[in-house]
Amino acid sequence: MFRIKQLDHLVLRVKNLDAMIAFYTQVLGCDWERVEESLGLYQLRAGSPLIDLIPEDSPLGKQSAGNANGSGKSLAHFCLSIDPFDADHLATYLHTKGIEAGDVDTRYGAEGFGPSLYLKDPEGNTVELKGPPQSTIYYI
């Protein structure tokens, strides 16, 4: 079994990137974490977790357009840090619950690069389960 440690990050598909950046940085006080303009990824630190902003017309925004059953909701996925992250045991556990999970891959989150996998909740929302960091290299 595993326990949830904290929320790792939220990914929001946005229509007006400038307005969203202004709100999260100037109103809520988030700090810049890193930007990958070629992907359309703008990451802000919200305390320990990250808030990822991805414009709808960016490569990442287009990739996540079908999430949430096509309902047009702006949340692409959310991520939960878990401990421990044992890929084999996690796959077995999820299988016993009737949950089909995606492949384990190394992805960037609030604590750096580490293993994670995606699955769907009963409403079709994408949930990422993320293990401990393998590195803590941050980019701005």
Residue spans per domain, the chain = 3-130
Read off the tokens for 8: 């790792």
Contact 2, 41 (CB under 8 A): no
Give the domain 3-130 fold.
2,3-Dihydroxybiphenyl 1,2-Dioxygenase; domain 1 (3.10.180)
SS3 string, 58-86, reads CHHHHHCCCCHHHCCCCEEEEEEEEECCC
The predicted-structure confidence for 91-124, as pLDDT tens digits, reads as follows 999 998 899 999 999 999 988 999 999 988 877 8
Q: What are residue 117's DSSP bridge partners?
A: 129
What is the arithmetic mean of pLDDT over 16-27? 90
pTM (predicted TM-score): 0.68
Tell me phi and psi for residue 84, to 5 degrees.
-85, 170
